[in-house]
Amino acid sequence: MVNFHVMRRIHATLMNEIHDDPKLVADQLGHTLDVNQNVYTQASVATQQGCVDALESALTGKAEFGAFWSRP
């Protein structure tokens, strides 16, 4: 069921995905930046997967700074 709170979370999350100004989004929702980021904004599965992939690349030496991890 979609209710008022679900729509607020969708709004905050989508605006975060397009890298809109977090303060502007918080103002639109009528909350502080802290509440907007910690309550309403959620990371998408695609964003979480991208972070995991970047970490894996760094640990396996495939990233630009991967050589750092393979130092003796």
Are residues 13 and 44 in contact, defined by beta-carbon separation less than 8 angstroms?
yes
Q: Are residues 5 and 35 in the same domain?
A: yes
CA 50 to mean position of chain CA atoms: 10
Q: Are residues 53 and 67 in the same domain?
A: yes
Q: Are residues 15 and 31 in the same domain?
A: yes
pLDDT, tens digit (0-9, with 9 covering 90-100), for 22-52: 999 999 999 999 999 999 898 889 889 999 9
Is this prediction's pTM over 0.75?
A: no
Q: Are residues 1 and 34 in the same domain?
A: yes
Q: Are residues 72 and 48 in the same domain?
A: yes
Q: Are residues 30 and 18 in the same domain?
A: yes
Taking the C-alpha atoms of residue 23 and residue 37, their distance in angstroms, rounded to an integer, is 10
Structure tokens at 5: 């709170």
Which structural domain range is residue 36 located in? 1-41
> Is residue 38 exposed (0-12), middle (13-18) or buried (19+ Cβ within 10 Å)?
exposed
